[in-house]
Structure 1
Amino acid sequence: MSHTTKVSHRRPVRLASGAAPTAPPRARRRPTSQQWAAWAFLTPVTLYLVLFYAYPLYRNIDLSLRNYTVRSFVQGDAPFTGLANYRNVLHDPTFAPALLHTVVFTSVCLVFQYAIGLALAVFFNQRFRLSATLRALFLVPWLLPLIVSASTWSWMLNSDSGVVNSALHAVGIGPVNWLTAPGWSLASVIIANIWIGVPFNLVVLHSGLQSIPASLYEAAALDGANAWQRFRRITFPLLRPVSAITLLLGLVYTLKVFDIIWIMTKGGPADSSTTFATWSYQLGFGNMLPAFGPGAAVGNLLVVAALVFGLVYIRVQRKQGLS
């Protein structure tokens, strides 16, 4: 008895003209130990940014787009109002003075903090005796809690018992109402904030000076360049990257200064020292009937301002890198 074996012949798959046969799908690669380690290091940072930056920013934006009251803030049923809070803020009589005070406060503080910090950094770069000790003492204003620094300046600038008016009286100058006169309140908080911010500029700029080769100064001295010419032609140009990041960080910090102003003047008298930071707090928490939405809107304006300056800094750095 013969057994015949049937062999099945599959017809070849016809492909369109010019089409190549598709390759079988590749098996997924399993993550390597280095990839797992990278994710392990990245996860805490991502969670931190999401929990403490992204989510609060989202809540603040949502707060500025709704009509929140104390009841709706607890129950969460605030109606959506769109950009109404921003329109109310822009048409508020306090907006223009607060904007002017914020610009003046930020600009004057940045200029004097950077100028004094740079001068001290160049001075301490001489590496004389007790240089490290004196430089450490200059860090005290930066290390003190802000409430201590602001309270100290409030006592020093007190109209009746302040040490500043006592010194002025000793040289024949009458007392100045530093904290209670509309013409002096903003200047008082500016002076206090400059004193607090100078050490930060000193530390960062001094570290930048350490990276400049000493051979450049020696060559310039052999060519007959004086101290001012060495600073203008060597120190200042080579310090530009460090100066840029110092000014950017100082700008972001100064825009959101609240503690110093609130402790010393509370934005007064008659809103003469009110900035966006103190105004946002007053709207949200400084009244019996808090306006959470407008307060959040003012805070978001500060965030946008800091973001714009940050993007400008990145763009400038990118152009310098390409050139």
Structure 2
Amino acid sequence: MTHTTQVPHRRPVPDRSGAAPAAQPPARRRPASQQWAAWAFLTPVTLYLVLFYAYPLYRNLDLSLRHYTVRSFVQGDAPFTGLQNYRTVFDDPTFAPALLHTVVFTAVCLAFQYAIGLALAVFFNQHFRLSATLRALFLVPWLLPLIVSASTWSWMLNSESGVVNAALHAVGIDPVNWLTSPSWSLTSVIIANIWIGVPFNLVVLHSGLQSIPHSLYEAAALDGANAWQRFWRITFPLLRPVSAITLLLGLVYTLKVFDIIWIMTKGGPAESSTTFATWSYQLGFGNLLPAFGPGAAVGNLLVVAALVFGLVYVRVQRKQALS
């Protein structure tokens, strides 16, 4: 006689509140039609990234590692030289001034664009009459083509017929050679770039101010906080995430500014306003015998700088999210 062992039925273990956990439904696989639809949506984005980002970066890296001439650029038989183009760039006497000009141009533009944009954003956040109209007018420099803006500033800062020197003469100040003096050329392109970049900071920071609850300002006013204390204790801390992305995008844009500098000064006089962006163009396209390799190497230095700051931003944001 055989004995059959019965396995007892396991009941679901209730949680602390006494309720039995709900039964988990079996995982369902997506139908093939949905998978094909997902790939169909991803394909255009993937092709765009490959054609307009990955391939140009690969070609630029390949240019910087080979000795390209006009003939080898067409035929594609340039010899591999390794890091020789980078050594040529580092040993070039233009490298140190161009690096200094790039750092000064980027830092000064970012500081003034952010400060002026933040001040205007706080001002327009008061919602007074015609605030929307005036805010829209401030967007004009951002909407104009860069060639138009740069040409306008070149005319305004002209040493002989510019309106800026005419205004200085009217108040008894000697005219300044804004575009033809090595002492003022970098300042001139910085002023023009600040004017162009302020609207972007205004729009982004004003959008960030809209997300701050007005009740916080009312509570601070009841506690006796003045306008500066409300700004420093409420507005500025709550705008840090928006400020971080604004400064990062401004940094990436300012590092690669070429149109304004080239139209206004062409990096001169005597390379007094040459940055990495204009130097890369001069090496690759500004001479009768173009140096494609060194020009690509300078461009890659800009890419690496932007990538480093982007990684720093991601790391800081991740730390803030975890804390």
Q: Flag the 1:289–1:217 CA change in 2: closer, same or farther, 3 A.
A: same
Structure 1, residues 62-117: CA drift from partner, whole Å, max 9, x if none?
00000000000001100000000000000100000000000000000000000000
Q: Name 1:195's counterpart in structure 2.
A: 195
Q: Flag the 1:13–1:83 CA change in 2: closer, same or farther, 3 A.
A: farther
Indicate the SS of the match to 1:224: coil
CA distance in 2, matches of 1:315, 1:4: 62
CA distance in 1, matches of 2:137, 2:89: 43
CA distance in 1, matches of 2:305, 2:89: 16
Q: Flag the 1:28–1:175 CA change in 2: closer, same or farther, 3 A.
A: same
Answer with 100-109 or 29-38: which moved more. 29-38
Indicate the SS of the match to 1:252: helix
CA distance in 2, matches of 1:228, 1:15: 52
Q: Name 2:279's counterpart in structure 1.
A: 279
Q: Any conservation in 1 of the 2:109–2:193 contact (CA below 8 Å)?
A: yes
Return the offset for 1:16: 44
Q: Name 2:176's counterpart in structure 1.
A: 176
Q: Flag the 1:243–1:21 CA change in 2: closer, same or farther, 3 A.
A: closer
Return the offset for 1:41: 1.2
Aligned residues: 323
CA distance in 1, matches of 2:76, 2:28: 45
CA distance in 1, matches of 2:271, 2:122: 39
CA distance in 2, matches of 1:134, 1:110: 23
Return the offset for 1:34: 2.8
Return the offset for 1:295: 0.1
Q: Name 1:270's counterpart in structure 2.
A: 270
Indicate the SS of the match to 2:79: coil
Q: Any conservation in 1 of the 2:12–2:20 contact (CA below 8 Å)?
A: no
CA distance in 2, matches of 1:213, 1:253: 31
Indicate the SS of the match to 1:225: coil
CA distance in 2, matches of 1:20, 1:170: 86
Query: Are 1:132 and 2:153 matched, yes or no?
Result: no
CA distance in 1, matches of 2:11, 2:221: 89
CA distance in 2, matches of 1:124, 1:21: 53
Structure 1, residues 255-287: CA drift from partner, whole Å, max 9, x if none?
000000000000000000000000000000000
Q: Any conservation in 1 of the 2:155–2:162 contact (CA below 8 Å)?
A: yes
Q: Flag the 1:2–1:227 CA change in 2: closer, same or farther, 3 A.
A: closer
Return the offset for 1:35: 2.3
CA distance in 1, matches of 2:252, 2:304: 11
Please tell me the root mean square deviation across aligned C-alpha atoms, in Å. 8.0
**TM-score for both structures, normalised by structure 2:** 0.91
Return the offset for 1:40: 1.4
Stretches of structure 1 lacking an aligned partner (at least 5 in a row): none
Return the offset for 1:293: 0.2
CA distance in 2, matches of 1:241, 1:93: 40
Q: Flag the 1:11–1:209 CA change in 2: closer, same or farther, 3 A.
A: closer
Q: Flag the 1:4–1:183 CA change in 2: closer, same or farther, 3 A.
A: closer
Return the offset for 1:36: 2.2
Bigger radius of gyration: 1
Q: Any conservation in 1 of the 2:14–2:21 contact (CA below 8 Å)?
A: no
Structure 1, residues 181-224: CA drift from partner, whole Å, max 9, x if none?
00000000000000000000000000000000000000000101
Q: Flag the 1:186–1:26 CA change in 2: closer, same or farther, 3 A.
A: same
**TM-score for both structures, normalised by structure 1:** 0.91
Return the offset for 1:39: 1.3
Q: Any conservation in 1 of the 2:13–2:20 contact (CA below 8 Å)?
A: no
Return the offset for 1:229: 0.3
Q: Any conservation in 1 of the 2:13–2:21 contact (CA below 8 Å)?
A: no
CA distance in 2, matches of 1:319, 1:183: 43
Q: Any conservation in 1 of the 2:14–2:20 contact (CA below 8 Å)?
A: no
Q: Flag the 1:220–1:69 CA change in 2: closer, same or farther, 3 A.
A: same
CA distance in 2, matches of 1:142, 1:317: 28
Q: Name 2:29's counterpart in structure 1.
A: 29
Q: Flag the 1:170–1:77 CA change in 2: closer, same or farther, 3 A.
A: same
Return the offset for 1:29: 6.7
Return the offset for 1:170: 0.1
Indicate the SS of the match to 2:129: coil
